[in-house]
A and B are shown apart, each in its own frame.
Chain A
Amino acid sequence: MSFTAIDTWWWPYVFILIAGWLATDLWRFLGVYFGGRLSDESELLVLVRCIATALVAAVIANLIIFPSGALAATPLLLRIGAGLAGFAAYLAVGKRVLVGIVAGEMVLGAGMFINHAL
């Protein structure tokens, strides 16, 4: 029962609905069910925020360390260095997101250029 198993126009949509929509919105609906039972000053909510933040941080780190597509062709140390440079620049100028992004991209771009030239 793979994506191409049934040769009709609707099967891929059913596949996307079950493996995609149901598999993600299930968690969102569960979140509303439990979130609706918590006060926004509850100490338990601090724990939930910590777990959610750590999960998102793991997604970020994996995007940098184990990227897909064209980014995978760049050196690992360059990506880590560019990420650190962007974060340092963000903190240095008083938490300006745009400054952090531009700094990180500049380091990545310069690194790719040098790597290409060598």
Chain B
Amino acid sequence: MTEPETDATESSDGRAAWLWRGATAAFSIPGLILASAFVGFAGLARDAGLTLAQTVFMTGVVWALPGKVVLISAILAGSSLPTAAFAVALSSVRLAPMVVALTPELRGPRTPAWVLYALSHFVAVTSWVLAMERVGDIPRAMRTSFYAGLGLTLVLGNMAVVAFVFVVAGRLPPAVSAALFFLTPLYFLTSLWGSAREKAGQTAMLLGLVFGPVFHLLIPGFDLLATGLLAGFMAFGLHLISKGRKAV
């Protein structure tokens, strides 16, 4: 209803500008933190015996970092193809609700479906949090261009980071690796709070932080799914109760 009228400004010029703005959004603190997480991943893949080409290929086609870590552990454990695929699929279920939440925000009035399917490949935590934070300030018709620039730059940039680290860097001192590995949870902890659309999102985050490790011990493998459903429904229930009170 309050959407700005963007049809008049929808020229090829405008698209290129938003694509560029998306690409530059990758060169930010979140982008830097993600790159440092990929420094750690390159070391993990090399230790697991993967080649440079296999590691860079995996970075591009899987993209989400937790899924790749699970895939590497499955390879290390000598798992069969179906077992490895099942473990990776289980660790990636969270991508579905993330994409469900992002798609209506990215979609313009005339966005073709294939564009949304292609862009969904870029969805992982960093680009999702960045997009949920920023799309509100972007004209609706230009959001897909912005996200394409952001996603492509992050994926290609981190494929380059992985290749560079794989070839050049030796083993990092343990204290440096520990500090690098800790950047990711610290960044997500703070930015996830800021990107919440409503109070219910923050409730869901706090519940998820507590339930995640508990379910990790109780039902390993299904912990993320169980946490998402239980904490998500609880936060939504509280949201409905507080909304009902306001209405009365």
B101 and A49 within 8 A (CB): yes
Interface on A for B, CB 8 Å cutoff? 1-4, 12-13, 15-32, 34-36, 38-40, 42, 45-71, 73-74, 79, 82-83, 86-87, 90-91, 95, 97-98, 100-101, 104-105, 108-109, 112, 116
Q: How far is the CA of A71 from the CA of B216 in the complex (A)?
A: 18
Given A36-B107, A69-B177, CB of A59 within 8 Å of CB of B125: yes
A sample of 5 inter-chain contacts (CB < 8 A) reads: A3-B84, A27-B96, A51-B97, A58-B227, A61-B212
Stretch from B11-19, B75-83, B155-163 contacting the other chain: B75-83
Ranked 10 nearest A-B pairs via Cβ: A31-B99, A57-B208, A58-B212, A35-B103, A51-B232, A54-B208, A54-B231, A70-B177, A40-B104, A55-B228
Taking CB atoms and an 8 Å cut-off, the chain B residues in 171-220 that contact chain A are 172, 174-175, 177-179, 181-194, 196-198, 200-201, 203-213, 215-216
B33 and A101 within 8 A (CB): yes
Chain B interfacial residues counted at CB < 8 A: 105
Given A71-B181, A71-B182, A73-B178, CB of A60 within 8 Å of CB of B209: yes
Given A31-B103, A62-B213, CB of A50 within 8 Å of CB of B182: no
Q: How far is the CA of A97 from the CA of B66 in the complex (A)?
A: 22
Contact for A16 among B62, B66, B203, CB less than 8 A: B62
Given A31-B99, A35-B104, A36-B107, CB of A57 within 8 Å of CB of B116: no
Q: How far is the CA of A74 from the CA of B186 in the complex (A)?
A: 16
Given A2-B79, A16-B62, CB of A45 within 8 Å of CB of B224: no
Q: Does B94 make an interface contact (CB < 8 A)? A: yes
- B187 cross-chain contacts in A, Cβ below 8 A: 97, 101
Interface on B for A, CB 8 Å cutoff? 29-30, 33, 40, 43-44, 50-51, 54, 57-58, 61-64, 66-69, 71, 74-75, 78-82, 84-86, 88-89, 92-105, 107, 113, 116-117, 120-121, 123, 125, 172, 174-175, 177-179, 181-194, 196-198, 200-201, 203-213, 215-216, 223-225, 227-233, 235-236, 239
User: Which chain B residue shows the least CB distance to A100?
Assistant: B190
- A36 cross-chain contacts in B, Cβ below 8 A: 103-104, 107, 113, 116
